[in-house]
Amino acid sequence: MGRTRARYDVAARTEATIHGGVALALRVAKKSGLVTAIDKLVNVLKLHCPYYESDHVLNIAFNAMCGGRTLDEIELRRNDAAFLNAVGAEAIPDPTTAGDFCRRFEARDIHALMTAIDEARLKVWAQQGDELTAQTAVVEADGSIVGTGGECKQGMAMSYNGVWGYHPLVVTLANTGEVLYLANRSGNRPSHEGAAAYFDRAVALCRQGGFKDVLLRGDTDFSLTSNFDRWDDDGVRFVFGYDASTTMKGFAREEAALEDNGYRELVRRAGEAFTGQKRRAKQPRVKEQLVRDNGYKNIRLTSEDIAEFVYQPTKCQREYRFIVVRKNLSIERGEHVLFDDVRYFFYVTNDNDMPAEEVVRHARKRCDAENIIAQLKGGVRALHAPVNTLNANWAYMVMASLAWTLKAWMALSLPISPRWREKHRAERDAWLRMEFRTFLHAVINVPAQVVTTGRRLTIRLLAWRPQLHVLMRLADAT
């Protein structure tokens, strides 16, 4: 390195941008009908001089999609002539105007925006045919604390762990990773507040999209027993965690109350997959050895057992199936065993045909919702509070999270050829599972020359990426 001295110069005529893939995201947004739906349903501007509501929404979404971490970074793209040509715009709103747009939103306007996104979402799902809707739609919900150091944030409050900020609720579709709904709340509100209404809205959306079967998942906070009978009557299945109360522990300890003659060993899916196969050698457990050598307290899992029973929660009019996992633990310090401990974990479901082990697996897969929230926080930077009111920050979160949803829509828009079905499905699934920052560098941030000749716009990619052939296949299809 450093054999020659680099000389810097500024190109006089060539226009290029680092965000070569953003025009493809705009194509997918327009093809889905998102732009039209936003302008039709969202009415927060009295005059369109010159921007429409869709221009503001996509401005914030594309800022996040291009790696922007704050509203101020919109200024970088606002002064990038090649970027403006790539998205077909003469100008885009500046950061101050973007913040003012967020402050115009009331709760009804935010719901209208989410309805507009739903209209476009249904069109994207319809492109998949029966392949997507033949699956069980798995709807998950979780809350997350969004901390802020500001002192003038209307609606902020101290959360249970002492962090000042907001506590948004995020409802996602596990099949595609899309954010279905997002509701901002004060930091002191419980996780489950308002979740039942958004669950109902998500169920209606999935059925409108063609899904025949819907499964709700959530942790113990979302065991909303007052809604169990209603969901069961509506044909909606659910798997929720359940609080380990004294009553529930009593059932778990009473062998007579358990079905199928009590407990049996719980075998994880990984253990089943490796049955009869040669396993790779395990890596040395460095951390565990340090815990023993230094005499730290260690809680070690020795075995897991599973059982089930039926129980009628107080707010329900019928009994439901409960699965209990008993974890047998060894409490150790150094090489010495202090005592043994037993802990119980409970799950409730209205599906009487699903094996008990599968219920536990479904409950543990709920962690994918936490992974999506982590992406919204760290990758997209959507769960962030850049403006000064509860509703304004709510509107920003919905618009910025649209970047994550557009990533899923781009994956779902990839054409699948009958000849290369398995390969193309694997590429689509790779985009769906891809972390946002990885997707950003693989698909969006591709250096490109933007050439405008007459009425034709050409984006000439200037660098190679491993996902380039997939990107070009999507470009040909849209």
Query: In this structure, what token pair is assigned to residue 225?
Result: 């027993």
pLDDT digits (tens, 9 = 90+) for 157-189: 999 989 999 999 999 999 999 999 999 999 999
Per-residue pLDDT band at 269 (split at 50, 70, 90): low
Asked whether the whole model's pTM tops 0.85, one would answer yes
Q: Nearest-CA neighbor of 443 among 423, 473, 422, 415? A: 473
Prior bond of 50 cis (ω within 30°): yes
| Biggest distance spanned by C-alpha atoms of the chain | 84
pLDDT at 215 over 60: yes
- Asked if 168 and 397 count as a contact pair (C-beta separation under 8 A), the reply is yes
pLDDT of residue 271: 52
Per-residue pLDDT band at 270 (split at 50, 70, 90): low
pLDDT digits (tens, 9 = 90+) for 341-377: 999 999 999 999 999 999 999 888 888 889 999 999 9
The pLDDT of 230-235, averaged and rounded, is 95
How many Å apart are CA 310 and CA 349, to the nearest integer?
Answer: 10
Per-residue pLDDT band at 473 (split at 50, 70, 90): very high
- Asked if 105 and 97 count as a contact pair (C-beta separation under 8 A), the reply is no
Element (H, E) at 29: helix 22-31
pLDDT at 391 over 70: yes
- The residues, any chain, with a CB within 8 Å of residue 161's CB and separated by 6 or more, are 145
pLDDT at 385 over 90: yes
The pLDDT of 419-431, averaged and rounded, is 93
What is the percentage of the chain residues whose pLDDT exceeds 90? 74
Q: Nearest-CA neighbor of 101 among 166, 38, 150, 45? A: 45
Per-residue pLDDT band at 284 (split at 50, 70, 90): confident
Q: Nearest-CA neighbor of 166 among 176, 157, 175? A: 157
Element (H, E) at 16: strand 16-17
pLDDT of residue 256: 63
Cα–Cα distance list, 72 to 58, 101, 132, 387 (Å)? 15, 14, 38, 12
Per-residue pLDDT band at 272 (split at 50, 70, 90): low
pLDDT digits (tens, 9 = 90+) for 88-115: 999 999 999 999 999 999 999 999 999 9
- The residues, any chain, with a CB within 8 Å of residue 305's CB and separated by 6 or more, are 263, 264, 265, 266, 325, 326, 328
pLDDT of residue 216: 96
pLDDT at 274 over 80: no
pLDDT at 118 over 80: yes
Helix (H, G, I), strand (E, B) or coil at 267: coil
The pLDDT of 432-438, averaged and rounded, is 94
- Phi, psi (deg, nearest 5) at residue 136: -80, 125
pLDDT of residue 10: 79
pLDDT at 259 over 80: no
Residue ranges of domains in the chain? 16-219+372-460, 242-275+283-348
The chain-wide mean pLDDT, for the chain, equals: 91
- Asked if 461 and 446 count as a contact pair (C-beta separation under 8 A), the reply is yes
Per-residue pLDDT band at 277 (split at 50, 70, 90): low
Q: Nearest-CA neighbor of 111 among 182, 161, 50, 164? A: 182
Q: Nearest-CA neighbor of 56 among 76, 70, 71? A: 71
Angle between helices 468-477 and 22-31 (to 10 degrees): 30
What is the percentage of the chain residues whose pLDDT exceeds 70? 97
How far is Cα of residue 453 from the mean position of the Cα atoms in its chain?
A: 40
How many Å apart are CA 453 and CA 9, to the nearest integer?
Answer: 25
pLDDT at 275 over 60: no
pLDDT at 293 over 90: no
How many Å apart are CA 326 and CA 336, to the nearest integer?
Answer: 23
- The residues, any chain, with a CB within 8 Å of residue 389's CB and separated by 6 or more, are 103, 153, 154, 155
- Asked if 216 and 195 count as a contact pair (C-beta separation under 8 A), the reply is no
H helices, E strands: number in the chain: 19, 15
